[in-house]
Structure 1
């Protein structure tokens, strides 16, 4: 039970990280440069944590005999991050949220059922399937999709794609979500191999920083820090995204071998929705205040029931 609560807390930091990184992007201009700064802060945080907690840096030789995919977590993280940047203008806000979540849930259950990436096996049964469906339905309610259908006056934002291109980007959204779940399982197994979840997170961030640095150099993004129009100063909290990202990756690496990839994904998704609704409801971190609706609250309750249905048996 404590692991589930920890998963929810890990998920809570993600909306805060998103808000911080979005504000950082306004000041540095390039989304890739903002991600690089965020990853670099996370790398420094995990480097310090490894020295203080483990007393030494990760020893890659401990995982040298394992398959090459054990090192892919950091690259997958960059792919997922970059993928969302491309999805939003083409699919709109709702599909950009729902499709990757669907991919995460599907891949998480498959990893557990088949024991992919050396993950512990948790067979898919009717109860776990029902819990996953309730969670996805709860997400639809929490992000306002159900509310928009019930109240025609409310509209969901849509993207610019149509026809075959639209469906191609929809499939890509699901795939990006599957990559995210795979990253969770891979980092979890890397943590087992290294004997340290902090070490696994540090290795993941190392690969992430290297990948983003190559992207920034290839795109020739200008290195700058400006004050966006309409802002008197840059807030201190725009720099904490990397620290929170480090905590998120560590949480994934720690939880996946303990409670399984599927339940890790779902508890973190629950935390993400709670955090998002709190930020909107109270207008935190510069967000426009949008009070939580009854349908959103019911959606959140369904997510809780879905996670409980998978955890309790």
Structure 2
């Protein structure tokens, strides 16, 4: 088995698209596809299956990917001498709000302290799976119930109702939860809600329906900021915007972020260091995350 073919396979498995992986490797997608077919012929099994959104590992692919990762970690250790410099690529999956709003502005501090580490921050509506080796670290809204993963709570965080201060210049007051029915509410699209923990409005008052809906928490924040209505927003996003005000402060929603890593990679230096860094950062910002 050619190690270079195995390296291409592992990159495609992480990127989930041949074209994206080829760009990372600096080779032509046709070449990457040909090398993958050669690897499949060598092992006598189909390793990747084509889906609408790209390539996915088969059961045989999962097993080979685990072996490829183990070899890569071994080679990292050879390259790094004592194995403690933690060089290499680290992929981190987080929700759009936490990843884009909280982690991204501080991520340069981590890479400055760990110059050998390159970081892919995947901050989207949804999560990559550590158990399927799609990411090295995931910050999730709920604790996974199964899989070969190690999980711990990162931090609790708060959410509340917010609207633009200018919005109430023409809108009726909102002094009670019942008053919310007289206002345009902003929330998630129900069938695109990627986690049940995002069903905030029903927790505020059963039956509340958003008039303006988006799968993006950043879009919901922008709608509220523009005076389009009232939204449930994370305090770490909304409290820092002087154009927004808290509506019904007694309505306080609590959620938690969970740190998830694959059990086989938790001791990899770059993974361990990132988990330690993020844990310390979240603890230092506990008050901001909880909300005033």
TM-score by length of 1: 0.24
The structure whose Rg is larger is: 2
Name whichever structure is richer in helix by fraction.
Answer: 1
Higher RCO (Cα < 8 Å, 6 or more apart): 1
Q: TM-score, normalised by structure 2?
A: 0.25
Q: Which has the higher strand share?
A: 2
